[in-house]
A and B are shown apart, each in its own frame.
Chain A
Amino acid sequence: MIINPADFGYIVPYLILVITGLLLVLAEAFYKGKDRTALVSLAVAGALAGAIASVVLYRQVAPGARVTLFGEMLFADRTGYILSALFCVATALTALISPAHQREHEWQLGEYYGLLLLSASGMVMLAHAANLVTIFLGIETMSIAIYVMCAMRRRSRRGNEAAMKYFLIGAFATGFLMYGMALLYGAAGTSNLLRMQSALAATSNPGLVIAGGFLLVVAFGFKIAAVPFHMWAPDAYEGAPTPVTAFMAAAVKAAAVAAMMRLFGLALGGDLLPYGRLGWASPFVVIAAITITLGNISAIRQDNVKRMLAYSSISHGGVLLVGICSLGLGAVSANGSLIYYLIAYTLSTLGAFAVVIYVGSRGNERTLVDDWSGLASKHGGAALAMTVCLLSFGGMPPTGGFFGKFYVFKSAMEVYDGQLLWLVVIGILNSAISIFYYLRIVTAMYFKEPTTPFTPTKSGGLIFVMALCPLLVLEMGIMPGFWLKLVGG
């Protein structure tokens, strides 16, 4: 493998994240003084620098062009850069909402910010992955850092339990991922995603392709919490510290989808591999349909807001799977729709969890729906922010979530012969169902009397995120043109 020094210029966002992450871990060791949350400014600066570098490089690369780096290990293309900018922004927003929660619930650990940025570096690698090796490395860099972040409240029984469940399931999924990759490599003779499609189509061992594809479906099913591989998600989301939950629900899911876009859209896509009774598309569409439906139905009977958001994010994972299916089955617009959906979903998720942090206080996280009664009369802004994010989740206009769902389902309709039409119908029916439980929170906030006085967690960063995310989500819904142009290139 010959490494061209110019290649390093293309991975500046990644380098910034890694270096800042390592600096933050070191700074924690040498930092004097009790309040470690001061490290947050370095973390935000690093993540924002990564985002700016991604935007600059996005403009450097021509639309549709695809530069390969480091002996075809990474791609530099517009899809990769827009996703890495999204991951960097999500990281910065997570870093902004964390210090208030850390101070309020007394788990001030500086390593947290280092791990946050290192995890983001894994996501950026996934966004640019061009090889099975980089997909594996990206997923593991991301996941291992998240396992530690989940377990950071060492004295919390629930936190430990969440970390343990997340870790064991994640490691189990890694086993499937690795074995699936090994089988695909065996069938193709190359681990390069670009060359894999033609090599797999011409393979003399279709059994290996089928088994490998099936194992990868299982592995990614675990990673994005698709039904029936979702059982860990509600527990992990409820038990983890809320900023970590926000990061898991928003960025980790988006990164897993980025990897799937490369793997299932490119290496396993095309005219031959996904089709037929034994192609990967058949189990995938069924999983997508079950995931959307069961995620919603389980969310209806939740009383805990964090668990409800967890089930709603499972259901959103199902919609993302619809997008992946249409990408693999050759819908041209699916790439752009998926990215648009990911941006809207990530922003709404971060906004919603920021409000969850705001409402809770020491010793009383106030995560039950009843605890939210009457929020609007005391803290109108927070209630409004939550309402906008929930409407975006439910796919109501004029929010980004509406256009996200609209475009994903539109690309699903583009698939040859209307094969995914039934899936679109299921998806739209579920959108209607989901409004029901989102409105439960809204009615509690607006039409009920407060039971106990609110003692919100206040901090500048938190309020900034609570204002920014709903505004951006609304902007995406009112003026989608700019964003569509962005994701279309």
Chain B
Amino acid sequence: MSDILFKVGYGHFLVLAAVLFLIGMGGVLVRRNALIILMSVELMLNAANMTLLTFARMWGDLSAHTFALIVIAVAAAEAAVGLAIVVAVFRGRRNVDVDKLTALRH
């Protein structure tokens, strides 16, 4: 039992990343505030990054580190665009509840 606590290996990181990914996915599916959904998506991307880096270390391969850096940069660009869209929606409606976006539903 104590082995799990004191001998930290690749498995720990992978499980942590998987749990983070599931939390992020749950957040997207359950929460209705667009900002929180955006945060949950970031959590999913960070979980993917952590998995990527764990495997990169496992395989002794540097190229995946670059991949992770690229993902971080792209996630930042995506968040910038996403926040701009959230602000544009907020200006028109005074809230960012995704359940209240019903102008297009038939």
List residues of chain A with CB under 8 Å of any chain B CB.
Answer: 132-133, 136-137, 140, 144, 147-148, 151, 154-155, 157-158, 160-165, 167-168, 171-172, 174-176, 178-179, 181-183, 185-186, 189-191, 234-235, 238-239, 302, 304, 307
Q: Verify B45–A178 contact, CB threshold 8 A.
A: yes
Evaluate whether A171 and B82 lie within 8 angstroms (CB atoms) in the complex, with A158-B103, A179-B44, A179-B47 already known.
yes
Evaluate whether A161 and B45 lie within 8 angstroms (CB atoms) in the complex, with A136-B70, A140-B74 already known.
no
CB contacts (< 8 Å) of B64 on chain A: these are 185, 191
Q: Verify A151–B85 contact, CB threshold 8 A.
A: yes
Tell me the residues in window 48-76 of chain B with beta carbons closer than 8 Å to chain A beta carbons: 48-49, 51-52, 54-56, 58-59, 61, 63-64, 66-67, 70-71, 74
A158 to B88, CA, bound (A): 12
Q: Check B77 for interface membership: any CB of A closer than 8 A.
A: yes
16 interchain pairs (CB within 8 A)?
A133-B67, A136-B74, A137-B70, A144-B78, A151-B85, A154-B88, A154-B91, A158-B104, A160-B88, A168-B98, A174-B78, A175-B28, A181-B48, A181-B52, A239-B104, A304-B106
CB contacts (< 8 Å) of A179 on chain B: these are 21, 44, 47-48, 51
Q: Verify B104–A186 contact, CB threshold 8 A.
A: no
The chain A residue sitting closest to B102, CB to CB, is: A161
Q: Verify A136–B77 contact, CB threshold 8 A.
A: no
B7-39: contact bitstring with A at CB < 8 Å (1 yes, 0 no)? 000000010000001001100100000100110
Tally the A-B contacts, defined by beta carbons under 8 Å: 131
Q: Verify A161–B89 contact, CB threshold 8 A.
A: yes
A164 to B28, CA, bound (A): 14
Q: Verify A189–B82 contact, CB threshold 8 A.
A: no
Query: Of the candidates A136, A164, A175, A304, which one forms a contact with B44 in the assembled complex, judged by CB atoms under 8 Å apart?
Result: A175
Nearest CB of chain A from residue B8's CB, rounded to whole Å: 18
Q: Verify B101–A164 contact, CB threshold 8 A.
A: yes
Main secondary structure, interface of B, reads: helix
Q: Verify B89–A147 contact, CB threshold 8 A.
A: no
CB contacts (< 8 Å) of A176 on chain B: these are 44
Q: Verify A172–B28 contact, CB threshold 8 A.
A: yes
CB contacts (< 8 Å) of B61 on chain A: these are 189-190
A440 to B81, CA, bound (A): 39
CB contacts (< 8 Å) of A183 on chain B: these are 51
Q: Verify A164–B52 contact, CB threshold 8 A.
A: no
The chain B residue sitting closest to A304, CB to CB, is: B106
Query: Of the candidates A154, A164, A178, A239, which one forms a contact with B71 in the assembled complex, judged by CB atoms under 8 Å apart?
Result: A178
